[in-house]
Structure 1
Amino acid sequence: MIHRRVLVGVLWSMCLPWRTAAGQEVRANGQKQPPVSSRGRLPVTGCAGQPISDIIVITQPPFTERLPTRLEWVRRTVRRTHANTRDDVVRRFLLMKVGEACNQIRRAESERILRAQPFLVDARIRVFDDEAGGVRLEVETRDDFSLVFEPTLQSKSPMVRGMRFGDSNLGGSATLAAINWRDGRAYNDLLGIDLANYAFGRGRNEFRLSAQRNRFGQDMRLELVRPYYTDLQRYAWIGSLGGTREPMEFRRGALPRNALTVRREFANIGAVSRLGSVGRLKLLGASITREVQRTDEQSLLLTREGVIADTTDAAVPTFRPQRVVRANALLGVRAIRFVQVQGFDALTGAQDVRVGMQLGLVAGRSIVVRQARDRDHFVAANLYGGYGGTRSFVGLQAVTEARYDRDAKVWDNFVTSGRLAWYFRPAVRQTTVVESEWSAGRDMRVPFQLSLADREGGIMGHRASSQAGARRLVLRAEQRLVVPTRLNVADIGFAGFAEAGRLWAEQSVPYSLSTPWRGAVGVSVLAAVPPRSRRLWRVDLALPISADPQRRFEVRFSSVDRSRVFWNEPRDVQAGRERTAPSSLFTWP
């Protein structure tokens, strides 16, 4: 666990830069003055090697345009309570400085990196002739709505079962701070805190801290990473550690669900460096990882009244403990360019999709360190491919890993998953998305099951399903339509969707079954607040189509930004993976 003084010091260092920078600016100028735009005063030009004489940063609040009279109070309230992203924070993501030659590639990459930040809606970098032989860069950004307010509701009393509350851009410092609470009923209430700084240490580094008490355990993670943002940077690195204790529940068909408590500890430190030219290069590096895992043998039933012993006659699966330290080689191959599109994963917002190919490989061998005496090899691969443009785009990502036991001389812990998706925009206000997601696990070292009930990887209308499998295939299709509005408060849209999925059994996965195809159809109400935000708010109404006795009509509320990465792996798949594979070095868009 992290020492309390160290944690306090890290949190203070996250807050100190924006406090001191803001204070110095106010003291120097007496009053903070907004920068003046060059539009209409200086001629527009392009980057062609001219010296950069000045860089002006203009940060805008979520609502920049005036609203109708009856809604103008919304804009005024947001402006009063919202802190614009600070000038110095925006500058940390720029790849150019005053005095350097203006380079078009660096200008475009700086704009793309800013546009991908979760606290911004959009970013533009314009170039103006300063009429003295140089150029003046004007960086303009618009903030996303920073209030985090996500209640968990139910139809019966008490209606409020949980809450997530915080700010996603605290003080304009690119810092997410949120607290979580959820009613645990007969168990501990869920209490947690999430902190993330996307410009940590006055650089393009990301700091993440998550600490949570679950209803039957805890989960703590700390990560500091310098992602591979662009081919123009030389290196990327990662350091992480954490620990979890939580029950893994098994769906057993007609029998009540049982659970085994799983304890895990993990740590990882590694780095990669660039070899080759921009746009077609290799990443080469190394990492040291530590993984400890132990699964209790006692089976429990987590009932509404509390924990009771499992007295059923069903066999209880057992899992071997793991304690291993590995030295890993990291290899990445990239041939990528970026295309700016609109209305793909967001309702109308802009995002940059990767066109080309990217492959990340990890190969590790265990080393004996103190009590870590497991002998194995570990391999993992992360493949991405994308093709298309602003009207039609096809993307594929697949992630696979496995472990070779050097003592038993067998392969185990096979985990694979992936996504294939096609985006098509026949008109400005219409988007069609057709996708397929697959997942599988075999010969697992940790408790593992897949189901159609999973919120992220399953299908709607089957949240109460009691059947589980070892392999899962889900097909989805959605047609979205954006509705024109003059209110300037939000973008509004509607969607119709259909999805289908099925499971397959595998002898090595406990209680797994093969199921027929099950499906759901429905309609959705969509919104983006403020307009062109990449965060998509949804209200989905789904009617299940299957013979599953636990099927039911479902109304689902969600709010998510899927524009930063092509695919987020479902949680039930992540539960079976090694916690230390540094995939984030290769998957940043």
Structure 2
Amino acid sequence: MSTRRAFAAACLAACLAACLPWYSVSAQDVRANGQKQPPVSSRGRLPVTGCAGQPISDIIVITQPPFTERLPTRLEWVRRTVRKTHANTRDEVVRRFLLMKIGEACNQIQRAESERILRAQPFLVDARIRVFDDEAGGVRLEVETRDDFSMIFEPTVQSKSPLVRGMRFGDSNLGGSATLAAINWRDGRAYNDVLGVELENYAFGRGRNEFRLSAQRHRFGQDMRLEFVRPYYTDLQRYAWIGSLGGTREPIEFRRGDLPRNALTVRREFANVGAVTRVGPVGRLRLVGASLTREVQRTDEQSLLLTREGVIADTTDVAVPTFRPQRVVRVNALLGVRAIRFVQVQGFDALTGAQDVRVGMQLGLVAGRSILVRQARDRDHFVAANLYGAYGGTRSFVGLQAVTEGRYDRDAKAWDNFVTSGRLAWYFRPAVRQTTVVESEWSAGRDMRVPFQLSLADREGGVMGHRNSRQAGARRLVFRAEQRLVVPTRLNIADVGFAGFAEAGRLWAEQSVPYSISTPWRGAVGVSVLAAVPPRSRRLWRVDFALPVSADPQRRFEVRFSSIDRSRVFWNEPRDVQAGRERTAPSSLFTWP
């Protein structure tokens, strides 16, 4: 009953937030007398090359809607409709991300960092901060931003009746407040319908803080999370902190070759509070801090079969793996080392949009020791490392990220729950409208405390054309290559492109991972249709047509629709790898944009 009440409370909170007034004070400057006046354009004023310590006499914020340029006559209705239904980002929201204030000295590093922080926000397409002479010995700053298309409308359709199986609906910039609010539903067929709410605020508490609330009922379980975080956006800030808690109950399925997939239900509770502070000069610094974490995990011993008709008991003669429960409270030391600079590029992870890539090296470390508190009786050490390194510029760029964690059982005197994964990628842009991306991804798990498998069927980490594969492994290596071409268009409604791609991957067995086997190489080749709406948006819409190249009997020609923004971080770990990791490692804190 308590779980249902918590779920209902989370739903109510998100619904109340979604009912907030939809209004916008974008493109308005609030003066001291409280009156809202349109910003005065700097046209005709003398632009200044950069900040050089001049006093800032005024800061003007100009927010633009997704479509700023007129469209062809037959499509102008699209622009008018978007402008009527879209609320521009509010003036005060943009100001929260600025590192400069009126009356302070204009600093070129602060100006560039403020511009980059604005570009890192998912609700904006681009941001520019220009400096103009105020003709009185100082300067005025003109901050101009352009919003991304904010409406969320993602139906789940199928070829047979009923045509619509699900829906995700909401707004990613509700009322121009930098708030994502969405609800989703999907038909569960023989199980519970999937119902969920999401609420994310990227400028929480009138600062550069983030608030996230999600509550979802799955077909066979639930997932509830709450998080407050102040990410480490820039070397100029002194502190970063995080507080989170949540709980999940979900079945983890095992692929077993020709046998039907069975599942074990995993229940998890987790909480985390921590902070870091900066030590050292800007551009070459260290972060030191501490956190207190709690994690409870237990896996059912009863194996289930999740069939189309519902849940039934597993009556096969194959032995069911067992997993030890975990109940631990840890005190953790946090350390970060960073020597990074940012380079603005175009057309890397987005079709034509701008993004800031990190060049240099950074390392995040977590080292924890369990403490005996009430029912938390586990005795262990926990270590985790997040390494990033990159070299290059606007034409050629090479990046590497690797994430590893492990747990040392002090009673058994042995390591377990070892999980590692990473990505190595090369971006090459020989011409303005061409981009080549060559990458490899690897993942591995060993001696796991929770159900864990890797497969080529995973949507993020696998190989297309093999989503029905019945084979699983403990280690996975995948290579991908893609050649993109942007097609010129005069419509001004979207950027359009095409791509050709090839993928290859394989699995390796590990005795400690149930039902894992070693497979030969599997591959796929195909073409893609790409789009970015509005033009220069960093969200990439794509339709992939993949032809599998392998001897897997479950291979199928695949058509995949996707929409994702990969420009904020170098790499997002596949879900099947995340399922094996500790929930309390402060990944949000060390995801340094």
Same fold (TM over 0.5): yes
Deviation at 1:511, TM superposition (A): 0.3
Mapped partners of 1:356, 1:49: distance in 2: 28
Aligned residues: 582
Query: For residues 73 and 10 of structure 1, do their structure 2 counterparts lie closer, same or farther at Cα, with a shift above 3 Å needed?
Result: closer
Residues 126 and 146, structure 2, Cα contact 8 Å, conserved in 1: yes
CA distance in 1, matches of 2:346, 2:193: 40
Q: Is the 8 A contact 1:49 1:101 kept in 2?
A: yes
| In 1: Cα distance, 2:289 partner to 2:21 partner | 31
CA distance in 2, matches of 1:89, 1:399: 33
Aligned in 2, Cα 1:18/1:585: closer, same or farther, shift over 3 Å?
A: farther
Q: Which residue of 1 aligns with 2:8?
A: none
Q: CA deviation at 1:174?
A: 0.1
Matches of 2:157 and 2:25, distance apart in 1: 41
Query: In structure 2, the residue corresponding to 1:19 is in which secondary structure?
Result: coil
| 1:365-396 alpha-carbon deviations (Å, 9 max, x no partner) | 00011000100000000000010000000000
Structure 2 Cα separation of the partners of residues 325 and 572 of structure 1: 25
> For the Cα contact (< 8 Å) 1:429–1:483, is it kept in 2?
yes
**Per-residue CA distance 1:258-309 (angstroms, 9 max, x = gap):** 0000000000000000000000000000000000000000000000000001
Q: How big is the shift at 1:46?
A: 1.9
Among 532, 543, 562, the alignment partner of 1:558 is 562
Unpaired segments ≥5 residues, structure 2: 1-11
Query: Structure 1 length as normaliser, TM-score?
Result: 0.96
Please give the alpha-carbon distance, in whole angstroms, between the structure 1 residues aligned to 2:26 and 2:505.
53
Q: Displacement, 1:65?
A: 0.4
Give, in angstroms, the shift of residue 147 of structure 1.
0.6
Equivalent pair of 2:369/2:380 in contact (CA under 8 Å): yes
Describe the shift of the 1:19–1:27 C-alpha distance in structure 2 as closer, same or farther (beyond 3 A). farther
Tell me how far 1:11 sits from its aligned partner: 8.2
Change (3 A) 1:382 1:14: farther
- Give 3-state SS (helix, strand or coil) of 1:566's partner: coil
Q: CA deviation at 1:163?
A: 1.1
Name the structure 1 match of 2:421. 417
Q: Determine if contact 1:281/1:333 at 8 Å carries over to the other structure.
A: yes
Provide, for residues 386-428 of structure 1, a one-character-per-residue CA deviation record: whole Å limited to 9, x for no partner.
1000000000000000000000100000000000000000000
Rounded to whole Å, the distance in 2 between the matches of 1:143 and 1:36 is: 20
- 8 Å CA contact 2:486–2:495 kept in 1: the answer is yes
3-state SS in 1 of match to 2:82: helix
Asked if the contact 2:63–2:144 (Cα under 8 Å) also holds between the matched residues in 1, the reply is yes
Task: State the distance in 2 between where 1:408 and 1:185 align.
Answer: 44
The runs of 4+ residues in structure 1 deviating greater than 4 Å are: 8-33
Q: Which runs of structure 2 are paired with 1:143-222 in the superposition (5 Å)?
A: 143-222=147-226
The change in CA–CA distance for 1:15 and 1:91 in structure 2 (over 3 A counts) is farther
Confirm or deny: 8 A CA contact 1:469 1:504 kept in the other structure: yes
CA deviation vs aligned residue, 1:208-234 (integer Å, no higher than 9, x gap): 011000000000011000000000000
8 Å contact from structure 1 (residues 125, 140) kept in 2: yes
Match among 516, 523, 541 for residue 519 of structure 1: 523
- Cα distance, 1:13–1:200 mapped onto 2, change above 3 Å: farther
In 1, the alpha carbon distance for the partners of 2:484 and 2:444 equals 30
Q: How far apart are 1:160 and its partner, in Å?
A: 1.6
Per-residue deviation, 1:26:
9.4
TM value normalised by structure 2: 0.95
Take 1:382 and 1:499, find their aligned partners in 2: how far apart are those partners?
26
Structure 1 residues 281 and 27: alpha-carbon distance in aligned structure 2, compared to 1, 3 A threshold: closer
The alpha-carbon deviation at position 150 of structure 1 amounts to 1.1
Deviation, 1:156, is 2.2
Deviations 1:317-344 (A, max 9, x none): 0000000000000000000000000000
User: What CA deviation, in whole Å up to 9, does each residue of 1:2-59 have, x standing for no partner?
Assistant: xxxxxx6798789879979899989999985431220223444420000000000000
Native 8 Å contact 2:24 2:176 kept in 1: no
Question: Do the aligned residues in 2 keep the contact of 1:564 with 1:588 (CA within 8 Å)?
Answer: no
Deviates more, 1:251-260 or 1:34-43: 34-43
**Distance in 2 between the 1:31 and 1:254 partners?**
71
Q: For 1:537, what is the secondary structure of its paired residue? A: strand
CA distance in 1, matches of 2:521, 2:422: 19
Contact 2:26 2:91 in 1 (8 A): no
2:27/2:38 contact within 8 Å kept: no
The 1:504–1:323 alpha-carbon spacing in structure 2 relative to 1, beyond 3 Å, is same
Residues 14, 200 of structure 1: 8 Å contact kept: no
Q: Deviations over 1:539-577 (max 9, x none)?
A: 000000000011000000000000000000000000000
Contact 1:62–1:143 (8 Å) recurs in 2: yes
CA 176–494 in structure 1, closer or farther in 2 if over 3 Å, else same:
same
CA RMSD of aligned residues (A): 2.0
- Output one character per residue of 1:180-224: Cα deviation in whole Å (capped at 9) or x when no partner: 111111000100001100000000000001100000000001100
Cα pair distance change 1:34/1:350, threshold 3 Å: same
Gaps of 5+ in 1: 1-7
Instruction: Work out whether residues 45 and 129 of structure 1, in 8 Å CA contact, stay in contact via their aligned partners in 2.
Output: no
- Contact persistence 1:290–1:326 (CA under 8 A): yes
Q: Between 442-451 and 34-43, report the one with greater CA deviation.
A: 34-43
Deviations 1:338-365 (A, max 9, x none): 0000000000000000000000000000
Residue 375 (structure 2) pairs with residue 402 (structure 1): no
